[in-house]
Amino acid sequence: MTITDIKTYLVHPDHRNLIFVKVITDTGIEGIGEAYSCGPDEATVKVIEDFARWLIGRDPMERERLWALMYQGTRFPGGNVTNAAISGIDQALWDIAGKALGVPCYQLLGGKCRDKIRVYQSTSGGADAKAKVEKYGYTGLKMAPHPPGSEKMAWNAVVRAAAERLGEVREAVGADVDIGVDPHAKIFEPVRALQMAEALAPFQPMFFEEPLRPENIDALAEFKRRCPIPVATGEMLYTKFEFRDLLVRGAVDIIQPDICLCGGVLEFKKIASMAEAFYVTVAPHNPMGPVATAVNVHVCATMPNFLILEYIPDDAPPRCELLREPLKVENGYIPVPDRPGWGIELNEEAFAKYPPAPWHRGFPWREDGSMGFI
């Protein structure tokens, strides 16, 4: 079996583009994956197209060899665009392997540790949180603690508002629903991150996600030693090499690699195994599309140290139209599918309804005209 072509599909169903990847073989078996939408997403598509020239004619079952070809063949360690491209292609190769062998992909990764995957969704406030728990049966949620427009507020006001917002959600869902808080790496100074953590701690958050930027791991490690909440981070890191530094420095309690960005399936599994040796759990970053969710479900099923998976519902248009049969939440969990490969199929006919569009997160200008962190 050899690779004959690699196709990409760039679609914009809601607030951002999604990048689907299809690897085609001479046997008729096709594999699908999803690359991270870094923006500009056309750049990621071009990198995938360039990798296709390296991969066409090669055996798709040689996944480790092809990963090395893409990663090492690029020469310099890649950033988000290159690693997103590698991740999407790699996922598709695993789908091919599962289909060729007639087994679900989790069987190729050591088999299941669990039969269903616990998921959480982000919430905007107390009423919304209560409604989502009642509708989906979630045992976990996540929220931004800082209020909208916080970059223009006095810091003491931001901290007070963060505690009030978390308190509102805690009161709405009760004591036993886990609530993660995510400042989105908008806080520059460790001392201010600690002030916010101390204000939020009485409400017993599940984790404090990205309290600081990822550039200074030593600063994060010092912060973690003082933080009263478990520290989670990792969505902006790539490959086992960057996660190695995070773990060795003792800078994290919960890692959050993104399978569409960190380097793909086996790289994700290696990162999780490294974390297990440090008694660190895994709560994958998963803000992308339904393909990414399916891939995560398979890989997380094989991880002894899996904690919870981020999830965006795929049960309503337009997201439900992107796959023939999206995975669904049942009482706060997604059952692990048992069909060969990832067990999903793209609904390519729907893609034309959602053409790609430029996008970016809002720019957080401060009151003095300087740029904050996104």
Q: Which residues are catalytic?
A: 184, 285
Helix (H) or strand (E) holding 208: strand 207-209
**Contacts for 72 with CB less than 8 Å, ≥ 6 apart:** none
- Cα 22 to chain centroid, rounded: 20
Structure tokens at 308: 């919870």
Taking the C-alpha atoms of residue 291 and residue 194, their distance in angstroms, rounded to an integer, is 36
CA distances (Å), 273 to each of 66, 108, 230, 244, 302, in order? 21, 16, 19, 11, 11
Q: Residue type at 332?
A: G
Helix (H) or strand (E) holding 7: strand 3-11
| Cα atoms in the 13 Å half-sphere on the side-chain side of 210 | 24
Phi, psi of 140 (to 5 degrees): -150, 150
Q: Residue type at 349?
A: E
Cβ-in-10-Å burial (0-12, 13-18, 19+) of 61 comes to middle
CB 150 within 8 A of CB 161: yes
3-state secondary structure of 56: coil
Structure tokens at 344: 């999903």
